[in-house]
Amino acid sequence: MTNSEPLLDVRDLSVTFTRKGGPTVRAVDGVSFTVRPGETVGLVGESGSGKSVTSLAVMGLLPRRGVQVGGQVLFDGDDLLTLPRDRMRDIRGRDIAMVFQDPMSSLNPVVPIGVQVTEVLERHQELKGEAARSAAAELLSRVGIPDPNRRLKEYPHQLSGGMRQRALIAMALACRPRLLIADEPTTALDVTIQAQIIELLKELVQDTGASLVMITHDLGIVAGLCDNVHVMYSGRVVESAGRRELFAQPRHPYTGGLLGSVPRLDAPRGAPLHPIPGSPTDVLRWDHGCAFAPRCQNRVDACLDGPPPLEAYAGRSLRCLNPLTESEEVSV
């Protein structure tokens, strides 16, 4: 971890979806975090916690209709939210790149892989023809795709899922971006392939010195990869900590629940799993109290009085009035 100026500084980001005649939904609510050069940051949470919307907001990829984005996203000092659209297009793919969740649907089925890789190079590096093609072949072999010259001519349906995710990673890293956002890059893949892809990302990020924002619900991935972790619940960060602190002693009951629900090999045979009770839809609106309160086992009356603030606590930021204590065994 370096202590230089942050590369990405997200300040008080909020995203609100409005629908004609429907309720407004605040998907992201006052989220702040920073990513320093070379750092790997994890955004963790269940489905619906706002982690993907956060990443799309940073990329400027949210639809313009019916969406209000507030706050600041400072990248290298520029606020990405107020940049003109063409400037933003210059940054996307060159300085900030993204790998998406589902490699099956994230590649254009009717365009050869080669074109989909070279188009980034042509757009941002002004490579053309043979130069772009050989650069693309090099990228494919760099991400571990054998026989790249043949693969360049093939179409997505001719590649396996892991192969496609590798191709997408090649496209994302084509212009050596300074920041890579990976949105659940392994969710759609087999477990064995998942590990390979994570290793690949780790290696590539180390080699290029890029920063990585890893969005996941899988704490196992976070444990092996991230320097800092932000746990999100219902659109807000509830706990931010260094990886070691977080795994040594989670303080927010939600983080504790996430850790506790991971099945363990050293648990006694037949021991029951410990899911977090309730479901992520079972939330309180933040202005009425802590959104996690309906599912929380540490709830106190004050939790329902209003939103708990995000405060420094035991070497981290925490949004909880009754945190887990040292003695309190995580329900494993």
Closest CB to another protein among residues 69, 98:
98
Least CB distance from residue 230 to another protein, whole Å?
22
* Nearer to another protein (CB atom), residue 172 or residue 283: 172
Side-chain half-sphere exposure of 222, counting CA atoms within 13 A:
27
Whose Cβ is closer to another protein: residue 66's or residue 309's?
A: 66
Does 215 help bind another protein (rule: CB under 8 A)? Answer: no
CB of 199 to another protein, least distance (A): 23
The one-character DSSP state at 37 is: T
Q: What distance in Å separates the CA atoms of residue 217 and residue 214, rounded to the nearest whole number?
A: 10
**Residue of 157, 244, 264, 288 interacting with another protein (CB under 8 A):** 157
Interface residues for another protein in 48-87 (CB under 8 A)? 59, 61
Question: What are the CA-CA distances from residue 95 to residues 46, 172, 289, 290 (Å)?
Answer: 28, 10, 39, 37
94 binds another protein (CB under 8 A): yes
111 binds another protein (CB under 8 A): yes
Residues in the chain: 332
Q: How far is the CB of 208 from another protein (least distance, A)?
A: 17
Judged on CB neighbours under 10 Å (0-12, 13-18, 19+), 327 is: exposed
**116, 98, 121: which is closest to 153 by C-alpha?**
116
Q: Any contact of residue 91 with another protein (CB under 8 A)?
A: yes
Stretch that binds another protein, among 10-18, 113-121, 271-279, 320-328 (CB under 8 A): 113-121
Q: Is 109 in the site for another protein (CB under 8 A)?
A: yes
Build a one-symbol-per-residue string for 266-285: x at contacts with another protein by CB under 8 A, - elsewhere.
--------------------
Residue 133 touches another protein, criterion: CB under 8 A: no
Residue of 7, 34, 27 whose CA lies nearest to 317: 34
Nearer to another protein by C-beta: 59 or 145? 59
b/e 60-96 (16+ beta carbons within 10 angstroms → b): bebeeeeeebebebbbeeeebbebeeeebeebbbbbb
Token code pair at residue 46: 């269940």
**Cβ 305 to another protein shortest distance, Å:** 41
- In this structure, what is the dihedral angle of CA atoms 129, 134, 138, 141, given to the nearest 10 degrees? 100
Q: At what angle do helices 191-208 and 161-173 cross, to 10 degrees?
A: 10
- Residues near another protein (CB under 8 A) are 59, 61, 88-94, 97-98, 100, 102, 105-112, 115, 119-120, 123-124, 155, 157, 168, 171-172
